[in-house]
């Protein structure tokens, strides 16, 4: 009751999960992103496609058994995609089994006309994405049509995707065919899929920006999470040999070889700019 009075009690949803408290939403979400509508010189080559791997799962079970209502963070997904669209790239939208993309709608920037526009434009693809298995069957033979694989963040990226063999196959395919791999915040959890079936971690020794475990440990205090995380993402990346370049949930972005990463939702605009300019430069 005291937590409710203070506005730090997570909100109970109809399915029994919890979304962030009033205070957490005030501190951790925005009604308008910092997207910069840049006019890039559009890419006109053959590698126009970007595969975007979204989560189809909503509820993350915390250590205390409570469910966090999560999914893909809308700003982390859509702001980088806005930059890539402006730069002339197109998207293949996919989830592991073809179930609809799940967004953290409580984090949706309702007053952001640009984010609203691309969400509406791609809504039918979010509702009926392709299956990763179908992508492997139909597109693995044509890597020359693709520039990058993008895995947006949101805690939901840690659900199912790190354990999905098809995700591992796709990330290895991108790595072997010299495509870029792009992710931010909790999205790098997907990189764990490359280690399934006792395979080596393909990003060992890479610099990358990842959401800090230290912040995830603090957010239950303000009711952002309804409990402590089931596992620690940054810690796992370090254990596998990655070099984490950030200590805060800030605007840090990192380019190392063909891997582009960002630290948090605050890095979404910078990640979009870095990815767009890097692809335009490298794919000339």
| Catalytic machinery residues | 185
Eight-state DSSP code of residue 66: P
Cβ neighbors of 31 (< 8 A, separation 6 or more) are: 109, 110, 111, 112
- Would you give the distance in Å from CA 68 to the centre of its chain? 17
Neighbours of 143 (CB within 10 A): 16
- What is the 3 state secondary structure string of 119-173? HHHHHHHHHCCEEHHHHHHHHCCCHHHEEEEEECCCHHHHCCHHHCHHHHHHHHH
Backbone angles phi, psi at 133, to 5 degrees: -65, -40
Cβ contact 74:105 at 8 Å: yes
Any bridge partners for residue 11, and if so which?
19
Backbone angles phi, psi at 188, to 5 degrees: -60, -10
Cβ contact 83:43 at 8 Å: no
Reported as type and span, the H/E element at residue 74 is helix 74-86
Closest listed residue to residue 179, CA positions, set 137, 144, 130: 144
Closest listed residue to residue 214, CA positions, set 242, 183, 166, 246: 246
CA Rg value for the chain: 18
């Amino acid at each position: 009751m005291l937590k409710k009075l203070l506005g730090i009690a997570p909100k109970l949803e109809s399915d029994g999960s919890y979304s962030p408290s009033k205070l957490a939403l005030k501190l951790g979400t925005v009604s308008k992103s910092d997207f910069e509508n840049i006019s890039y010189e559009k890419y006109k080559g053959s590698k126009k496609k970007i595969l975007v791997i979204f989560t189809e799962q909503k509820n993350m079970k915390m250590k205390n058994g409570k469910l966090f209502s999560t999914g893909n963070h809308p700003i982390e997904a859509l702001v980088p995609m806005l930059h890539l669209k402006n730069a002339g790239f197109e998207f293949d939208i996919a989830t592991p089994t073809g179930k609809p993309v799940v967004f953290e709608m409580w984090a949706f920037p309702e007053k952001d006309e640009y984010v609203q526009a691309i969400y509406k434009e791609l809504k039918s693809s979010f509702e009926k994405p392709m299956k990763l298995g179908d992508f492997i069957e139909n597109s693995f033979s044509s890597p020359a049509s693709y520039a990058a694989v993008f895995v947006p963040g949101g805690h939901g990226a840690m659900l199912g995707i790190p354990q999905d063999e098809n995700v591992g196959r796709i990330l290895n395919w991108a790595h072997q065919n010299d495509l870029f791999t792009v992710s931010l915040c909790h999205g790098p959890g997907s990189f764990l899929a490359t280690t399934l079936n006792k395979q080596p971690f393909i990003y060992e020794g890479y610099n990358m920006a990842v959401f800090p475990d230290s912040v995830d440990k603090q957010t239950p205090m303000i009711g952002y999470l309804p409990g402590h995380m089931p596992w620690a993402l940054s810690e796992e990346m370090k254990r596998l040999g990655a070099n984490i370049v950030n200590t805060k949930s800030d605007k840090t972005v990192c380019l190392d070889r063909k891997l582009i990463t960002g630290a948090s939702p605050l890095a979404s605009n910078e990640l979009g700019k870095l990815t767009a300019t890097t692809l335009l430069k490298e794919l000339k």
